A and B are shown apart, each in its own frame.
Chain A
Amino acid sequence: MEDTLEAGDLSALLWLIAAGDHVAFHRLYECQAPRLYAVALRVTADAALATEALHTALLQIWRRNVQFRPQVGTPEGWLVAHVRSRAIDLMRRRHRDGLPPEIFARETDLDAGLARMTASPESARLAAALQTLDTPSREILVLAFLDGMSAGEIAQRLRLPIGTVKSRSHDSLTQLRTALEPAA
């Protein structure tokens, strides 16, 4: 269902958008909105808030409040990081007194998630790398990256000392980096 773009194409779109090209902006929306909305919805657990986050994030791109720098990253990574930041901002502003149960206690179906990661070679590769981690480590990564939870919240949720959460995520990152090292 998702209209996908090669990295180079997406990079070209972002470039055209920075130059004020409406058509390119519309195309970006068509191709990326579903996954970006998914990111915002997961973080905020609220359709209205997710809508707000995605709208704000994309408008910032159009207005060049933020700008993708091809020298230092990939367009996909940057786009998701940007939308995720906006979503986390809004979520934190909404819940100043701590995460509500619908976020804090929601289920994380890791297996279903990993099963979805077979669509593209990149995600399959990351899925394989994630499989090499033990379950709690994997859960920490997902709660942090997808749910936008802080280390403290993850510790509380998993009933682990915060130091353990930090050392595990540190180790997981090292492991992932090795696993994803381009074969050369």
Chain B
Amino acid sequence: MSTLYMFPPNERPTEDTDTLAGEYVLGVLNPGEAAATRLRADNDPALQLAIGAWQARLVPMVAMLPQPAPPPEIWARLAQDIGMPAEPTSASAPDHAGDQSPEPTSASGPEPASASGPEPVAEPEPEWVGEQPGEPFVEDAWEAVAEPMVIEPQVPVEIEIEAVIYEPERPPAAEPAEAASVAPEPTWADIAEPEPAIQQAAVSPPEPTPAPQSVVTTAFARLTEPSLTEPPTQPRFTAALRLIDSLLFWRAATAASLVLAAAIALFAYINRSPSLVSVAAIGTANAPSPIYLADLDSHASLHITPLAVIAVPSGRDLQLWMLTSNDAQPIPLGILQADGLTVTLPTRPAEGTRFLVTMEPRGGAPSGRITGQVLYGGVLATR
């Protein structure tokens, strides 16, 4: 597999731009030149691509270095910082190289699943940002690229859910009129049923609520920004979109309570289509809106609907994959066309199944394994 980054044909940088990018990555520009390059990259996709390509070209040089084992305290500190549960939840996570156990000390304590997101604790602003103009602060260059990757503090989701559920006659704050007109079917009144369950979901962590019969779940991306909630190509999703309108993406590994909240929020909608049993929103982890919606009916027929127009470079295709667990090989499901994809799955995907979208050579990854970059993803939880 070639890991060299290939430019889409129409985005190949000029030779000058490319060499500048190389010098930038190599670190031989003087501080002023480096700062100017960084600044220029903010608005120059070709330069961004060239920088990424040079990073990819030069990175194998790292193999020249001897690799002593990193001090175990690095992981010990990180585990504590991130509130890593004492037991790695995956069998594939043995202690690092026989070093001291990576388990966090008791100081971190068990973190409730609902405490989502990186700690809101006053984040020490990385004071060195920009302080060293000579340094290749490469990641800054990515800020301006393509889709908006909004990084926002996480806020309690439950409150928003409550607002939606308990005041059914009031559409979500964003755009009442539109919500009403665009989504004539499932009305808000229809959706209001399962109160008791919801009440608990809003306050309690994973404990199973008397959950409704057929449920569902998921949602990574938040569907808030009205301007970014492109007109769904299929009206039938509109209600679901409105419903999970103010959801922040939930954290895949831990946020059981949020999953449940999302599940219940979607439940009523799903319930109206008896054959429709699961839904997943597929997007980037912290982008404001999903890129695809996936729904699964009781016959294990998966239907993917794009919510936005996605430009794919010529010679490439977007391929859909299913990941049944962290350790499993991703299973290729097919090429996403402009209007989505419908595929019948061999087996019913279980709760926690992830869907990934990667960019691959035209026709899909030839080896049946992911070779390109993962662009989007989403998680399915089915009761």
List the interface of chain A (C-beta within 8 A of B): 1-2, 6-9, 11-12, 15-16, 18-27, 29-30, 33-39, 41-42, 47, 51, 54-56, 58-60, 62-78, 80-82, 84-85, 88-89, 92-93, 112-114, 116-117, 119-120, 122-123, 125-127, 130, 140-142, 144-146, 148-152, 154, 165-166, 169-170, 173-174, 176-177, 180, 182
Contacts and interface: CB of A to CB of B under 8 A. Distances in A.
19 contacts: A7-B3, A7-B373, A8-B330, A8-B365, A11-B370, A19-B285, A19-B286, A22-B253, A25-B84, A26-B93, A54-B70, A58-B78, A76-B56, A119-B63, A126-B58, A145-B25, A165-B28, A176-B57, A177-B18
Contacts of A166: 28
Contact of B286 (A18, A35, A66): A18
Interface stretch (B135-143, B202-210, B261-269): B135-143
B151 A67 contact: yes
A36 to B, nearest CB: 8
Nearest to B57: A180
Contacts of B365: 8
A146 B25 CA distance: 11
A55 to B, nearest CB: 5
B56 A73 contact: yes
A113 B145 contact: no
Given A34-B69, A119-B63, A55 B74 contact: yes
B149 interface: yes
Max count, chain A CB within 10 A of own CB: residue among B45, B52, B134, B254: B52
Contacts of B286: 18-19, 64
Given A12-B370, A29-B75, A51-B73, A180 B4 contact: yes
B252 interface: yes
Contacts of B138: 78, 81-82, 85
Interface stretch (B115-123, B157-165, B181-189): B115-123
Given A20-B116, A65-B126, A174 B19 contact: yes
Bin the interface of chain B by size: 35 or more
Nearest to A92: B132
Given A89-B135, A177-B18, A148 B64 contact: no
Contact of A78 (B52, B77, B82, B135): B52
Contact of B118 (A20, A84, A146, A165): A20
Interface of B: 1-6, 18-19, 22-23, 25-30, 45, 48-49, 51-71, 73-75, 77-79, 81-85, 88-90, 92-94, 96-97, 102, 116-118, 123, 126, 128, 131-132, 134-139, 142, 145-146, 149, 151, 220, 249, 251-255, 284-286, 323, 326, 330, 356, 358-359, 365, 369-375, 377
A62 B82 contact: yes
B45 to A, nearest CB: 8
A61 to B, nearest CB: 10
A67 to B, nearest CB: 6
A114 B25 CA distance: 20
A145 B134 CA distance: 13
A23 B93 contact: yes
B151 A64 contact: yes
Contacts of A145: 25-27, 58, 61
9 cross-chain pairs, A with B, having the tightest CB-CB distances, nearest first: A73-B52, A8-B370, A77-B55, A113-B64, A70-B373, A20-B251, A37-B70, A123-B60, A173-B22
Nearest to B64: A113
Contacts of B58: 77, 126, 141, 145
A85 B117 contact: no
Given A25-B84, A141-B61, A180-B4, 9 more contacts: A27-B326, A35-B63, A41-B68, A55-B78, A59-B82, A63-B118, A71-B146, A73-B52, A140-B28
A11 B5 CA distance: 13
B19 A173 contact: yes
Contacts of B118: 20, 62-64
B221 to A, nearest CB: 10
A74 B56 contact: yes
Contacts of B134: 92, 150
Contacts of A6: 1, 369-371
B135 A85 contact: yes
Nearest to B52: A73
Nearest to A64: B151
A129 to B, nearest CB: 9
Contacts of A165: 28
